[in-house]
A = this chain, B = another copy of it.
Amino acid sequence: MKIIFLVNVFLAVLALPMVAFAAGDAHGSAIAVVFLMIAVVLIAAKLSSLVERFGQPSVLGELVMGVVLGNLALIGITIFEPIKENSIIQFLAELGVVILLFQVGLESNIQKMRKVGIRAFAVAIIGVIVPFVLGTYVAGPLLLPGQSMIAYMFLGAALTATSVGITARVFKDLGKLQLPAAQTVLGAAVIDDVLGLVILAVISAMATLGAVSLGVISWIIAKAVLFLIGAIVIGQLSAPYIGKFFSKIHNGVSMKFSLAFGFCLIFAYAANQIGLAPIVGAFAAGLILDPVHFKSFKDQAIVDDVRNSIKDAPDSELKQKISYNIKTHAHRHIEELMEPVAHFLVPIFFIMVGMGVKLETLFNGKILLVALAVTLIAFVGKIIAGVAAEKGSRWLVGWGMVPRGEVGLIFASIGLSLGVISDSIFSIIVIMVILTTLVVPSILASILKKQKVQVV
């Protein structure tokens, strides 16, 4: 120890005129500050997993931790404020939700999705129409008289899109992604993400242009059809060949990881290019990639390891059995390889969603009351959609559709930036998003515990 200490002391003695220099090295410092921000977010997220002790899904802990960190400025603690504005942290959060949906896609099964397809579609349609109509024609004119029709439509639109990320995390945290109800909710959430974006596009066009030409819309629709069919068909047909081709270059796990992750990112990009949310592409990529693809890659280290541990076993049949068993595991699943990357990035997303919540909007009594009424509509509109689900899981599906999360916030901020909605409608939407997001995880968890739903 002594020598290394002395060396270190010596190094330190020599090293430090650096600080004077570092002041001029703004780029390096800016990057290092982001390192610290990531560390703070990760450790805060892990501290918040204490909620699991109380049977709550850890995503709730992360959201609440985010709300706390994001609002400490109210009591004068402003050190966490720069995290909210940092563009690299924002990027990592976006990448986090893309990876989460990729994981959810990987765990979802295209066969099971097909089974729930019609039901999911029905749930999505009802879950979009009911809140939109209630928001636009009931809540808006009754609770906020004197504003423009387009403002009411923005309010209605903000009520439509379920935040698939939050619901997916709850099901994932509790190990229930394989439930048919979970598949229905995820399918429906993806569908109404799409429907919500369509509504938003139409309303935005109405607010800015007045009208949109039918020819333009048709052309865009044609492109989209080609894209989605193309992505699924080409993806399913080509994945095994791509796997085989790259395995000839290198058949280690790092190749498998890079291919799968690259696939996910390209789909996310492609979805964005045709105007869908990147998460829709990531989910599709996960759905297409199957454990059977990329089977040529293995983790030789695990194989060797286990072979060594059983090499002097007396019973050769058992030996073979274990050897075979573990060899299968050596084909590490893509899910397993994605997991540490998800540990890194997914909590950043949920902490950031929580940090985006502005508690001071809760301080105005009148707005708060209207917001509570709008939130009620948000709950009712989605819970009603649950009737389209199969018997026995209606309640679960309905509640699963409730969280609006970041999608509602995006709608609100676009409405505000177009000058179409007022600050008060903005605050109302934000409160609705907070409440739907914060309340649902624990309700879903308790429904899942009470209801012994059958796992297929």
A residues lining the B interface (CB < 8 Å): 1, 3-5, 7-22, 24, 28-29, 31-36, 38-39, 42-43, 45-47, 49-50, 52-53, 87-88, 91, 94-95, 98, 110, 113-114, 117-118, 120-121, 191, 194-195, 197-198, 200-202, 204-205, 212, 216-217, 220-221, 223-225, 227-229, 232, 246, 249-250, 253-255, 257-259, 261-263, 265-266, 268-269, 272-278, 305-306, 309-310, 313-315, 318, 321-322, 325-326, 329, 337-341, 343-344, 347
> Which residue of B201, B310, B339 is within 8 Å of A20 (Cβ)?
B201
- Give min CB distance, A163 to chain B, whole Å: 16
Copies of this chain, whole number: 2
Report B-chain residues with C-beta under 8 Å of the C-beta of A337. 340, 343
The 8 A-B residue pairs whose C-beta atoms are closest, nearest first, are: A18-B275, A16-B224, A32-B272, A39-B265, A12-B228, A12-B224, A19-B275, A21-B201
The DSSP consensus for interface residues of chain A is helix
- Contact of A4 with B114 at beta-carbon distance under 8 Å, contacts A91-B88, A198-B15 already known: yes
* CB closest chain-B residue, reference A29: B272
Report B-chain residues with C-beta under 8 Å of the C-beta of A5. 229, 232
Report B-chain residues with C-beta under 8 Å of the C-beta of A11. 191, 194, 228
**Contact sample, A vs B, 17 pairs, CB 8 Å cutoff:** A11-B194, A12-B221, A15-B194, A15-B224, A16-B221, A17-B221, A17-B275, A22-B272, A28-B278, A32-B278, A34-B91, A35-B95, A36-B269, A258-B343, A258-B344, A305-B329, A338-B340
Residue among A39, A246, A274 facing the most chain B CB atoms (10 A cut-off) = A39
CB pair B28–A272 under 8 Å, yes or no, is yes
For the complex, what is the distance from the CA of A317 to the CA of B188, rounded to whole Å?
A: 52
> Which residue of B53, B98, B314 is within 8 Å of A318 (Cβ)?
B314
- Contact of A310 with B338 at beta-carbon distance under 8 Å, contacts A16-B275, A274-B18 already known: no
Report B-chain residues with C-beta under 8 Å of the C-beta of A98. 35
Report B-chain residues with C-beta under 8 Å of the C-beta of A229. 5, 8-9, 12
CB pair B227–A12 under 8 Å, yes or no, is yes
For the complex, what is the distance from the CA of A46 to the CA of B32, rounded to whole Å?
A: 28
* CB closest chain-B residue, reference A220: B16
* CB closest chain-B residue, reference A48: B249
Report B-chain residues with C-beta under 8 Å of the C-beta of A269. 32-33, 35-36, 39
